[in-house]
Every structure is written in structure tokens, then in C-alpha cells.
Amino acid sequence: MATINVLNVLGKKVETIELNDQVFNIIPHEQAMYDLILSERASLRQGTHSTKTRSEVSGGGRKPWKQKGTGRARQGSIRSPQWRGGGIVFGPKSEKNYDLKINKKVKILALRSGWSQLLKEDKIIVVDNLDFKTPSTKDFKIMLKNLDLESKKILLVLPSITKNEQKNAYLSGRNIKNISINLNTKVMLDKLLKAKKVLLTKEAIKSVEKGLMNEKN
């Protein structure tokens, strides 16, 4: 059974909790992880780029010079693709959809692989709570120092910000340079693997576990 230590904001061990082996203790499946990251990155592309063909470029309604007698190559319009400022041949259009579909079972396997890899690499830090009574960047930085995280690239995963304490934690940490905050336990795998450390509350890591165990194997 996989286990992890739970710390308090002072960096002291409070308890050790057990984690589900199906989520945090599997052999990482590299192909599934690769496929999911490709899908995640593709979904971020907006596809709003668009180029004009020769029929859409303005001007060029008249022949630049006569057909014969000039010694130059014949031309019919300055909108032709060979002209500077002319139309683009086979350029991207705005209706392009970059989404890459991925099988649901592969996605779950990839996420479980990601969390398992993070645990094996000792990149997951769990705290008992982040109950900030008021928003305070100063207090948040003190906590990071206590956890030996002040100079590391951190992904903070909060289950939600519906509770005042979690909202205060979000407001306290959002403007710190090295911190990226995820307001949902459904984290993109690409984000997970880029972080040097992933910081979660005990509630958040149980929410991650529950979310990935509710899916069919």
C-alpha cells in the first residue's frame, strides 16, 4: 500500500496516510501519458488563424502589364501567390479544429501513471490544511519556507475555493512568482509533470483519488 506523510504549515509531520495503489502505485504507462499530453496541448490551440487566398486579397483587378512586348514574364494579377502581398496557397483557415480525441480508459491510465510517477519521485507534498484566516502573501511565503519549497516551481492543487479558508489560500499564493494554482483536482497531466513539486491538502489528494477511482478501470 502506498503511503505519504502529511505535514502542517510549519513543516512538521502530523500523520501518515494510505493511498490507493491503483492511483498512486502503478507502473507508469509512458505511451498513455504521451497520448494524453498531445491531446491536452492540441486542445489549447484556438485555430483562429486565417490566411487569404488570391480571391480574397484586395486589388489586382487589372493586368499589371501587357501580355507581350515587355520582355518580362506574363502576369495576370498582382494577387497571384508569387507576388509579395498576394494570396496564400493552401494556407491555414479559421475552421481548423486541432482537437485530438483520446479513449477515456487511456486518459484515466495516463493520469494514474502521472500521479504514481510523482509519488515515486517524491514530488508530492501533502499538508493537513491551508486554513488562512485572511489573505496573506507573507504568511504563504513563510509556509513555503517551512516546507522547503520557496525556490521551487510549485503546482498548488485546491479542490475548490468555495470555503473561505481555501479562497484565502488562493488569494495569498496567486501572485507568487513560482506558483501555479489549479482550482480543481482534475489537473492536466502536462501541468503535473512540469512541476518540481505538487502541493495539496489532505482533502485535495483524497479528492484526486476518489475522482480517478470512480472511473471504470
Whole-angstrom distance, CA of residue 187 vs CA of residue 76: 55
108 and 88 belong to one structural domain? no
**Together in a domain, 160 and 146:** yes
18 exposed, middle or buried (CB, 10 Å; 0-12, 13-18, 19+)? exposed
The verdict on 66 and 164 lying in the same domain is no
Q: Given the C-alpha cell 494579377, which residue does it identify?
A: 77
Q: State the average pLDDT over residues 12-34.
A: 95
Q: What is the pLDDT of residue 208?
A: 92
> Does 78 share its domain with 17?
no
Q: Is the pLDDT of residue 217 over 80?
A: no
Same domain flag for 172 and 121: yes
pLDDT tens, 105-152?
Answer: 999 999 999 999 999 999 999 999 888 888 999 999 999 999 999 888
Q: Angle CA(125)–CA(127)–CA(133) in degrees, nearest 5?
A: 135
pLDDT of residue 46: 84
Both 175 and 121 in one domain: the answer is yes
* In a shared domain, residues 73 and 105: no
Residue 148 belongs to what domain range? 2-45+99-213
- Residue 213 has what pLDDT? 85
CATH number of the domain to which 209 belongs: 3.40.1370.10
Task: Indicate whether 93 and 103 sit together in one domain.
Answer: no
- Predicted confidence band at 99 (pLDDT cuts at 50, 70, 90)? confident
pLDDT category of residue 60 using cuts at 50, 70 and 90: confident
Are 195 and 136 part of one and the same domain? yes
Mean pLDDT, rounded, for 42-70: 89
Claim to verify: residue 155 and residue 54 sit in the same structural domain: no
**Mean pLDDT (the chain, rounded):** 90
**pLDDT tens by residue, 150-187:** 888 999 998 877 767 678 999 999 989 889 998 887 89
Q: Which of 97, 122, 139 is the last residue of a domain?
A: 97
* Band of residue 42 on the pLDDT scale cut at 50, 70, 90: very high
The pLDDT of residue 123: 95
What pLDDT does residue 215 have? 60
d(CA 147, CA 58): 62
Question: In this structure, are 165 and 126 located in the same domain?
Answer: yes
Which of residues 62 and 32 earns the better pLDDT score?
A: 32
pLDDT of residue 96: 80
Domain count, the chain: 2
Whether pLDDT at 94 is above 60: yes
Q: Is 158 in the same domain as 90?
A: no
pLDDT value of position 48: 84
The contacts of residue 181 (CB under 8 Å, 6+ apart) are: 155, 156, 158, 170, 173, 174
pTM of the entire predicted model: 0.81
